[in-house]
Structure 1
Amino acid sequence: MQARIYKRPKNAMQSGKALTDQWVLDFVPAEAQKPDPLMGWAGSGDTRRQVQLKFPSKEAAVAYAEKYGINALVHDVPPRRLKIQAYADNFR
């Protein structure tokens, strides 16, 4: 069983940072999705795709994965680089 652990990114459509302090454990899909012959919707028999576990810290997520024998790959968050700029710099 493989999984990935990552920190939830900031929503690109809003300036707020709600829920960005959570770490998420997602399971890697075991099989590809295929279209349903009747409705045409995409689906598969893999139910682990629907599971998304949330943790308050990276250490808690890694501890959970180790406790239950889940092979987890941790994606660390790259540092944010802010370009501090004054409004007057737009007119130089």
Structure 2
Amino acid sequence: MLAKIYQPAKSAMQSGVGKTRTWVLEFVPASARWIDPLMGWTGSGDMDSQVTLRFPTREEAVEYAERYGIPFELFEPNKRVPVVRPNGYGDNFAYFRRTAWTH
């Protein structure tokens, strides 16, 4: 029952960083999923794969796993570099804008 601890990346549908500051503990699936021949639904006998625990910090997630004897693998996040372009779209509405609106 191996668990992975990671900080989720932002969704491709969002430009902000909402729901990416927490740390997640998820269990790695112990068995493969199968497809039901009658209905075509995907099924699994692994109940641990349905458990997702969220923690405010990495240390709390690691402490929880160690306290309950859960073997885990820790994945460090890749930090985003903010893209700030000079004279970008936001400068159209800046308070220091001295020229008239052109369009």
TM-score normalised to structure 1 length = 0.86
How many residues are treated as equivalent by the alignment?
Answer: 88
After superposition, residues 11-90 of structure 1 pair within 5 angstroms as 11-87=11-87
The letter for the 2-side match of 1:62 is V
Structure 2 stretches lacking a partner, 5+ long: 89-103
Aligned-pair Cα RMSD in Å: 1.4
Alpha-carbon distance, 1:86 to partner? 2.3
Q: Which has the higher strand share?
A: 1
TM-score normalised to structure 2 length = 0.78
TM superposition outliers: structure 1 runs of 4+ over 4 Å: none
Alpha-carbon distance, 1:26 to partner? 0.5
Question: Which structure is higher in RCO with an 8 Å CA cutoff and minimum separation 6?
Answer: 1
* Higher radius of gyration, 1 or 2: 2
Counterpart residue number, 1:10:
10
| 1:68/1:55 CA distance change after superposition, 3 Å | same
